[in-house]
Structure 1
């Protein structure tokens, strides 16, 4: 089975949480070809799930039950993004699992 390393970025409060723990705000995660669910990756990275509103995958916001595959561009989006930005970025529906 071939695996590939994918960069996972953290924005806002998630970035701060990682920095306060002495960790980088961009983590390298090894993913199998079939990918892994974003929530599993968040737990592996010790991110508080209650502080995650969604995940950008290839420039589109999804809920954290979305599968991340090798080569995807990924960033976790924290809760608390201000109103106008929520709509422009498509975050308003991200927290709703499909």
Structure 2
């Protein structure tokens, strides 16, 4: 029996393009262990460029890359370069500042 639960992960914007250019799907299913994994660890596992990630949505809430992903969460990585007013509206500005600290 598999102790991990599938978690849906999406990549937006430039991260979507990054995956497509490498012949990879911008939406994937991954296994997250019962103890969880940080968004940063998952991004590395997926081969995403950490410096190009502004924030991560987990279950429709924005977080920095140090947030813990639990099995079954819905995850979406958001790239840097999102226009200022959109970043503020979505709460990405604060998450990006947390990740950079």
Taking structure 2 as the reference length, what is the TM-score of the superposition? 0.92
After superposition, residues 59-98 of structure 1 pair within 5 angstroms as 59-95=60-96, 96-97=98-99
What is the match of residue 15 of structure 1? 16
CA RMSD of aligned residues (A): 1.3
| Aligned equivalent of 1:39 | 40
For 2:43 and 2:23, how far apart are their aligned partners in 1? 17
In the alignment, what sits opposite 1:24? 25
Deviations 1:9-33 (A, max 9, x none): 0000000000000000012110111
What runs of 5+ residues in structure 1 fail to find an aligned partner?
Answer: none
Please report how far the alpha carbon of residue 70 of structure 1 lies from its aligned counterpart in structure 2 after TM superposition. 1.0
Q: Where has structure 1 moved over 6 Å in runs of 4 or more?
A: none
What is the CA–CA distance in structure 1 between the aligned matches of 2:47 and 2:72, rounded to whole Å?
Answer: 22
Once residues 6 and 57 of structure 1 are traced to their aligned partners in structure 2, the CA distance between those partners, rounded to angstroms, is: 11
Superposed, 1:48-67 pairs within 5 Å as 48-67=49-68
TM normalised by structure 1 equals 0.94
